[in-house]
């Protein structure tokens, strides 16, 4: 079932309930018209779930949140995936966010803040979730690799892992892939995070969270955080040395959607070759992403 345009809070609850597993946990990703274009990030993300090791059944627990009508229509036309249209009232302002939002552009920053508000609402509904950007390929089921204890509230990725997962102050946190457990603590954190945008003009939500971290917000709110190792939760900034351990690959350190699509296709192709073999996989060079920073 697809949520209809202009969905209310009740319809968000219905969409969450439909996607969640028995533990009230789901997988959330957000898309706009540019992400949803044929042969783009949406198609690659779904392909990775279908192709990945132990990931096929997770498609039923994915909620794809569309920021505009064209993205919602494309998502709904795929079949077998659950789509929800974010109501216009959830926008941070009326600016159209359908086109590609280049990294750190004004539209990019607005889109990130709109996402944080949505994720905070999901926590208030009492659902835990993995949030994943659509430029994160799922090569294996990541839930076992999270290895979460009941005491942990937030498990979050980083561009460069430094060897001590408990040392969140010593890591630059990356908000494109994380698990968050529903609680009053995490709901309060997301409220504070979203509210901080007012005093953070020109900053993306990831930078604001890292600033909050340094100012002691996690400790003050009692939010227990662990940083995810890039050996399992890899990215273009810091490739994992052992592909057989890797659960997810993020196209970070990359500026344009065209470059991300080109290099993620190469990653999926390499991962497909690895399946069923005992050989060592060499990651393809992320040449399109490296070139995306050139003027």
Domain at 1-227, CATH homologous superfamily: Spore Coat Polysaccharide Biosynthesis Protein SpsA; Chain A (3.90.550.10)
pLDDT value of residue 113: 84
pLDDT in tens for each of the 295 residues of the chain? 444 444 468 899 999 999 999 999 999 999 999 899 999 999 999 999 999 999 999 999 999 999 889 999 999 999 889 999 998 754 444 455 443 444 444 455 777 788 999 999 999 999 999 999 999 999 999 999 999 999 999 999 999 999 999 999 999 999 999 999 999 999 999 999 999 988 877 788 899 999 999 999 999 999 999 999 999 999 999 988 888 889 999 999 998 999 999 999 999 999 988 766 666 677 889 999 999 988 6
Return the domain boundaries, the chain: 1-227, 233-292
Residue 279, pLDDT score: 63
SS3 annotation, the chain: CCCCCCCCHHHHHHHHHHHCCCCCEEEEEEECHHHHCCCCHHHHHHHHHHHCECCHHHHHHEEEEECCHHHHHHHHHHCCCEEEECCHHHCCCCCCCCCCCCCCCHHHHHHHHHHHHHHHHHHHCCCEEEEECCCEEECECHHHHHCCCCCCCEEEEECCCCCCCCCHHHCCEEEEEEEECCCHHHHHHHHHHHHHHHHCCCCCHHHHHHHHHHCCHHHHHCCCEEECCCCCEEECCCCCCCHHHCCEEECCCCCCHHHHHHHHHHHHHHHHHHCCCCCCCCCCCCHHHHHCCCC
| Residue 272: per-residue pLDDT | 87
pLDDT of residue 7: 43
pTM for this entry: 0.91
């Amino acid at each position: 079932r697809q949520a209809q345009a202009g969905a209310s809070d009740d319809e968000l609850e219905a969409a969450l309930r439909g996607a969640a597993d028995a533990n009230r946990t789901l997988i959330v990703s957000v898309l706009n018209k540019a992400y949803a274009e044929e042969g783009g990030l949406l198609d690659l993300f779904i392909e990775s779930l279908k192709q990945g090791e132990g990931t096929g059944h997770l498609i039923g627990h994915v909620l794809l949140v569309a920021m505009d009508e064209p993205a919602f229509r494309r998502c709904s036309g795929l079949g077998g995936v659950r789509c929800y249209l974010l109501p216009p009232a959830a926008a941070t302002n009326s600016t159209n966010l359908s086109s590609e939002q280049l990294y750190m552009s004004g539209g990019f920053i607005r889109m990130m803040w709109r996402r944080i508000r949505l994720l905070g609402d999901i926590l208030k509904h009492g659902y835990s979730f993995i949030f994943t950007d659509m430029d994160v390929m799922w090569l294996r089921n990541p839930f076992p690799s999270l290895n979460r204890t009941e005491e942990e509230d937030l498990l979050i990725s980083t561009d460069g892992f430094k060897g001590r997962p408990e040392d969140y102050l010593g890591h630059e946190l990356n908000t494109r892939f994380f698990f968050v457990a529903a609680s009053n603590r995490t709901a309060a954190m997301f409220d504070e995070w979203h509210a901080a945008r007012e005093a953070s003009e020109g900053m993306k939500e990831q930078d604001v969270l890292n600033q909050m971290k340094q100012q002691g917000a996690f400790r003050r709110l009692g939010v227990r955080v662990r940083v995810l190792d890039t050996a399992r939760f890899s990215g273009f900034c810091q490739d994992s040395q052992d592909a057989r351990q890797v659960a997810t690959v993020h196209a970070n350190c990359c500026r344009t959607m065209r470059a991300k699509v080109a290099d993620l296709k190469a990653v999926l192709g390499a991962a497909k070759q690895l399946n069923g073999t005992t050989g060592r996989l060499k990651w393809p060079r992320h040449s399109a992403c490296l070139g995306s920073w050139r003027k």
